[in-house]
Amino acid sequence: MAKLKFGMVGGGPGSNIGSAHKRAICLDSTADLVAGCFSRNPEKNAEQGKIYGIDQERCYKNYEEMAKAEAQRSDGIDFAVIVTPNNTHYAVAKAFLEAGIHVSCDKPLVTSVKEAEDLQRIAKEKNLLFMVTYTYTGYVAMKYMRSLIRNGEIGEIRTVMAEYPQGWLYKDSGGKQGEWRCDPKQSGRVNCLGDLGTHVENAVATVTGLKVKRVLAKMDVVVPGRLLDDNDQILVEYEGGATGVNWTSQFAIGCNNSLRLRIYGSKGTLLWFQEEPESVTLIREDGNPCIIKKGTASVTGEAAKYGRVPSGHPEGWLESMGNLYDSFGRCILARKDGTLTTDMIDYPTIEEGVAGLRYVEACLESNDKGNVWVTL
Ligand SMILES: NC(=O)c1ccc[n+]([C@@H]2O[C@H](COP(=O)([O-])OP(=O)(O)OC[C@H]3O[C@@H](n4cnc5c(N)ncnc54)[C@H](O)[C@@H]3O)[C@@H](O)[C@H]2O)c1
């Protein structure tokens, strides 16, 4: 694959997800990092630029300057990666879209449906690609479960139990990352539901194809001193009649990134746990569990093509993010040479980012009105 060039906003020294994006993009030599605004602090920005070997002139003091300058260069970036706290995503993404640059933004896309729809409109008007990095959807196992469900292997889906508990915010700490997530000025109107709940909503939608029809939300602020939700229990009804429960929490001591899906259909069941991401349990009508692992012959070609190493050699979360960038990079190249077709798009798009915000706002409305059903 021909190499692309990308720039990064956020991902400064001591940050969490920026370096993961860079590593994931490098896995398949999808693109080189050539520009950035890694921090608002000039010293930290320069420090990160040096670590990444970025030319000083392409280590920008703010994202506005970066978007304008990169758009004007003949060797400017093909796409921008946004890995800043949630409240900044809208303005940063808008600046790059308006400069004519494709965008990859981490989740949650923004902090309101209004902002999300605005970005969707601009991306469409400018004919630009926009990925939202719901990382978990890149796993071979996720793509395999999706193909099983599309092929009718578990029949009609009846109910989905989905959860993503973490325990790192069981008391009011969590360092820099915890501080902004729990601060409404930086996180928006939700903490846990934006951070983890959007992953759950997207994972279920990606694997099952189900669309949320209505929700009944119980969103709690449990740890003393906190202003935003840290435990959310959401009853879901999907279009077509399937139901589900989505639970997310940040005080579940002992849980790390415990995203778990249990999907029950009319002919079978699928079970998957993020912390053991290579295995899918398929249970057919005879009740016998069958554990299918990445790399084995049972995994369909559509999913298997995303594996990089043979069975028994584990792949994980970074590879999953790499798979999103693999598809995104291929689509950008195809857009450049005019060969892009919609069936090539196998990454979470801005439409999924908008869906995440619609889910969040419906849950907020349900909770605010006293835990009533709200239709999306
Ligand atoms: N996909 C996933 O699984 C996943 C995992 C973790 C975080 N995230 C998302 O990634 C984003 C970043 O989260 P994090 O945990 O890495 O946060 P972080 O606090 O560790 O890092 C944020 C970085 O952005 C920089 N920054 C802030 N404002 C900036 C600006 N205006 N210009 C340039 N740099 C700026 C900060 O200096 C810092 O380096 C969030 O939206 C979060 O929800 C996604």
Whose CA is closest to atom 23 on ligand 1? 10
Name the DSSP class of 77: -
- On the question of a cis peptide bond just before residue 184, with omega within 30 degrees of 0, the verdict is no
Of the residues 74, 101, 128, the one at which a domain ends: 128
List of the chain residues with pLDDT < 70: 1-2
For residue range 337-365, list pLDDT tens digits in order: 999 999 999 999 999 999 999 999 999 99
- 218 Cα: distance to centroid of ligand 1 (angstroms): 27
Closest approach atom of ligand 1 to CA 37: 33
One domain for residues 206 and 112: no
Those residues whose C-beta lies under 8 Å from the C-beta of residue 145, and which sit 6 or more positions away, are 207, 261, 263, 270, 272, 280
Asked if 28 and 320 count as a contact pair (C-beta separation under 8 A), the reply is: no
3-state secondary structure of 373: coil
Domain contains 322: no
Domain contains 188: yes
Domain contains 280: yes
One domain for residues 101 and 145: no
Domain with residue 156: its CATH number is 3.30.360.10
For residue range 43-73, list pLDDT tens digits in order: 999 999 999 999 999 999 999 999 999 999 9
Domain contains 22: yes
Query: How far is residue 88 from each of residues 40, 81, 182, 299, 302, measured CA to CA in Å?
Result: 12, 13, 15, 40, 36
Which pLDDT belongs to residue 321?
98
The whole domain housing 303 covers 139-307+355-375
Closest approach atom of ligand 1 to CA 317: 3
Asked if 245 and 233 count as a contact pair (C-beta separation under 8 A), the reply is: yes
One domain for residues 110 and 143: no
Q: Pick from 354, 325, 332: which is nearest to 118 by CA?
A: 354
One domain for residues 33 and 159: no
Asked if 362 and 376 count as a contact pair (C-beta separation under 8 A), the reply is: yes
One domain for residues 94 and 197: no
Of the residues 103, 128, 153, the one at which a domain ends: 128
Domain contains 8: yes
One domain for residues 229 and 261: yes
One domain for residues 123 and 145: no
Count up the domains in the chain and report the number: 2
Domain contains 205: yes
Residues with CB under 6 A from ligand 1: 9-12, 15-18, 37-40, 63, 83-86, 88, 106-107, 133, 135, 176-177, 180, 195
Closest approach atom of ligand 1 to CA 17: 16
One domain for residues 79 and 196: no
One domain for residues 206 and 284: yes
Which pLDDT belongs to residue 125?
98
Query: How far is residue 263 from each of residues 50, 160, 279, 288, 342, measured CA to CA in Å?
Result: 47, 5, 15, 16, 27
Domain contains 331: no
Task: Round to whole Å and give the CA distance between 188 and 231.
Answer: 16
Concatenated DSSP letters of 133-199: E-GGGGSHHHHHHHHHHHTTTT-SEEEEEEEEE--TTSSS--HHHHHHHT-HHHH-S-SHIIIIIHH
One domain for residues 122 and 147: no
Domain with residue 13: its CATH number is 3.40.50.720
Q: Pick from 82, 91, 94: which is nearest to 122 by CA?
A: 94
Of the residues 101, 128, 155, the one at which a domain ends: 128
Concatenated DSSP letters of 275-322: TSTTEEEEEETT--EEEEETTSTTS-HHHHTT--S-TTS---HHHHHH
Domain contains 330: no
